[in-house]
């Protein structure tokens, strides 16, 4: 596929965060962009306002004219999340179109550009967004495909005038093995996606294969302690080639020093909260220094970095209430998030609203979830969000709740949660999960602001 010849693009599952980024990318290039998705969302509404045509009905008569027959100007992209029996998808196959995954298209794009790929079972969205922001803010510039909405730029795709692209490299379905990175970052490799990989060792092997795809002369930046090594190791604090030091909270903000061999950058103020984000910043600084970016400019960029939506995102922050929303859906992500909450607000009662994501993940990591959720003062547990899965007998939120060692805990519906917020007026509340829990953000905010 010659990306430079494409003039019409059709995306099946255009409402996904990664797919919408590609839609915006090709739209910016001047292509006619069309999309299908099952439901209308705030993101698809935004795409339509930007000039991208989106339909929500699986009707082959709605397929655009440009896709009557294959040509080298017409590109069809799909996400594995769309059902196999989708009529539009199967009709395009009958017409002779080759359908490409998002990851394959990112591979086409990265093959002709200087690519910075950021992989990891958690931390990759914030780290890739942070790297892209540093490159933009310092004037180095880049394009970027992000797995979340950047709060600085209010989009998940950035466009630059140079040949550099930052890509969030997704390990799900081994998608990142289509990339050709010049710089590869691995933030974590905890067991996850076992419905795809089967076991943790297969996941580890996949990360090793990702690092093997780094081009000749490229650099591998790998978090210290993982079961594979890179050219440069990093960590938040401790033994590694690049590491942080003197991590402290000053007026509710994280400050730290960056150290790598004879390079010392003191008293860096991080624009977003979270101990884990200090570690992400160490990786981002290491990338920026490799590119020769001025240290002072890096420090300034980190100070005005606002993070990504749903990644430790402050929704309400007043004298009476703190409400934070986060995407964490793995026990280690939850541990990092809740540990940071405890460090930032040690005296406040912490109410955690959590929505488990996937029956398989809940089953495979139930003990880990139970342990970490016990860090809350009060737990409101929602039903499991199934996403692409069918229920598994015996795997329920009530089954998980019974494992949590906590006095104040219960199963709740969305209505129950809003009633709780109205009645209890919580001083510190967080909503956490990767399903549709984000639909509660605006209603909770409205209640607290009253």
Q: pLDDT exceeding 70 applies to what percent of the chain?
A: 97
> In the chain, which segments carry CATH 3.40.1190.10?
113-303
> What is the per-residue pLDDT across 229-256, written as a single tens digit (0 to 9) for each?
999 999 999 999 999 999 998 887 899 9
CA distance 310 to 143: 22
pLDDT at 367 (0 to 100):
96
Select 3-103's CATH number: 3.40.50.720, 3.40.710.10, 1.20.210.10, 3.40.190.10: 3.40.50.720
Q: pLDDT tens for residues 362-419?
A: 999 999 999 999 999 999 999 999 987 899 999 999 999 999 999 999 999 999 999 9
**What is the chain's Cα-based Rg?**
22
Average pLDDT over residues 217-225: 97
Q: What is the pLDDT of residue 173?
A: 66
Picking from 212, 128, 208, the residue whose alpha carbon sits closest to that of residue 168 is 128
Residues of the chain with CATH 3.90.190.20: 313-449
CA-wise closest residue to 268 among 293, 294, 237, 300:
300
pLDDT for 172 beyond 80: no
pLDDT of residue 64: 94
What are the angstrom distances between the C-alpha of 441 and each of 43, 129, 446? 15, 22, 9
Q: How many angstroms separate the Cα of 317 from the Cα of each of 33, 73, 248, 313, 322?
A: 39, 49, 20, 10, 5
**Most confident by average pLDDT, 75-79, 271-275, 307-311, 434-438:** 75-79
Whether 113 and 85 have beta carbons less than 8 Å apart is answered as no
User: For 63-121, what is each residue's pLDDT tens digit?
Assistant: 999 999 999 999 999 988 788 899 999 999 999 999 999 888 988 888 889 999 999 98
Q: Which candidate, 132, 165, 138, 133, places its Cα nearest to that of 293?
A: 138
Mean pLDDT confidence for 324-345? 91
Q: Minimal CA–CA distance to 285: which of 91, 130, 97, 77?
A: 130
- In CATH terms, 313-449 corresponds, of 3.40.50.980, 3.40.50.10110, 3.90.190.20, 3.50.50.60, to 3.90.190.20
Residues of the chain with CATH 3.40.50.720: 3-103
Compute the distance between CA of residue 152 and CA of residue 309 in angstroms, rounded to an integer: 10
Confidence at residue 309, expressed as pLDDT on a 0 to 100 scale: 84
Question: Domain 113-303 falls in which CATH fold?
Answer: 3.40.1190
* Segment 274-307, tens digit of pLDDT: 888 999 999 999 999 999 999 999 999 999 999 9
Question: Which residues lie across from 77 on neighbouring strands?
Answer: 11, 100
pLDDT band at 197 (very low <50, low <70, confident <90, very high): low
**What is the number of other CB atoms lying within 10 angstroms of the CB of residue 81?**
14
CA angle 373/379/382 to nearest 5° reads 95
The yes-or-no verdict on residue 423 having pLDDT over 90 is yes
Predicted confidence at residue 389, as pLDDT, reads: 86
Residues sharing a CB contact under 8 Å with residue 62, sequence separation 6 or more, in sequence order: 55, 88
pLDDT score recorded for residue 196: 63
pLDDT in tens, 112-166: 899 999 999 888 999 999 999 999 999 999 999 998 889 999 988 999 999 999 9
What per-residue confidence (pLDDT) applies to 249? Answer: 86
* Average predicted confidence (pLDDT) for the chain: 92
């Amino acid at each position: 596929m010659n990306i430079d010849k494409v003039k019409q693009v059709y995306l099946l599952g255009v409402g996904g965060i990664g797919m919408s980024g590609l839609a915006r990318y090709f739209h910016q290039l001047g292509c006619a962009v069309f999309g299908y998705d099952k439901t209308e969302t705030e993101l698809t509404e935004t795409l339509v306002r930007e000039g991208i045509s989106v339909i929500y009905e699986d009707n082959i008569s709605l397929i655009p004219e440009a896709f009557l027959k294959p040509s080298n100007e017409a590109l069809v992209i799909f996400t594995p999340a769309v059902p196999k029996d989708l009529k539009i998808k199967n009709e395009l196959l009958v017409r002779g179109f080759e359908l490409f995954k998002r990851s394959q298209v990112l591979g086409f794009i990265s093959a002709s550009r200087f690519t910075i790929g950021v992989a990891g079972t958690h931390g990759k969205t914030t780290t890739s967004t942070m790297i892209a922001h540093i490159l933009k803010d310092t004037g180095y510039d880049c394009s970027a495909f992000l797995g979340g909405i950047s709060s600085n730029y209010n989009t998940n795709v950035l466009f630059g005038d140079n040949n550099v692209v930052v890509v969030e490299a997704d390990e799900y379905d081994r998608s990142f093995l289509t990339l050709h990175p010049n710089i590869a970052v691995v933030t974590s490799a905890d067991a996850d996606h076992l419905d795809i990989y089967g076991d943790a060792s297969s996941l580890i092997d996949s990360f090793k294969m990702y690092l093997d795809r780094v081009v000749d002369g490229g650099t591998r930046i790998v978090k210290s302690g993982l079961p594979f090594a890179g050219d440069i190791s990093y960590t938040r604090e401790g033994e590694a080639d690049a590491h942080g030091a003197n991590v402290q909270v000053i007026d509710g903000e994280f400050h730290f020093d960056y150290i790598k061999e004879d390079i010392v950058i003191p008293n860096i103020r991080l624009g977003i909260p979270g101990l884990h984000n200090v570690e992400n910043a160490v990786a981002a600084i290491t990338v920026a220094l490799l590119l020769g970016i001025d240290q002072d400019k890096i420090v300034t960029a980190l100070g005005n970095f606002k993070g990504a939506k749903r990644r430790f995102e402050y929704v309400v922050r007043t004298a009476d209430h703190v409400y934070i929303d986060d995407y964490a859906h793995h026990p280690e992500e939850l541990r990092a998030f809740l540990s940071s909450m405890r460090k930032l607000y040690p005296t406040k009662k912490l109410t955690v609203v959590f929505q488990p994501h996937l029956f398989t993940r809940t089953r495979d990591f139930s003990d880990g979830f139970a342990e970490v959720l016990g860090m809350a003062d009060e737990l409101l547990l929602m039903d499991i969000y199934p996403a692409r899965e069918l229920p598994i007998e015996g795997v329920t939120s009530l089954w998980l709740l019974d494992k949590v060692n906590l006095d104040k805990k219960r199963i709740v519906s969305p209505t129950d949660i809003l009633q709780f917020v109205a009645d209890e007026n919580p001083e510190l509340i967080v909503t956490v999960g990767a399903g549709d829990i984000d639909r509660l953000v605006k209603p909770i905010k409205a209640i607290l602001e009253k």
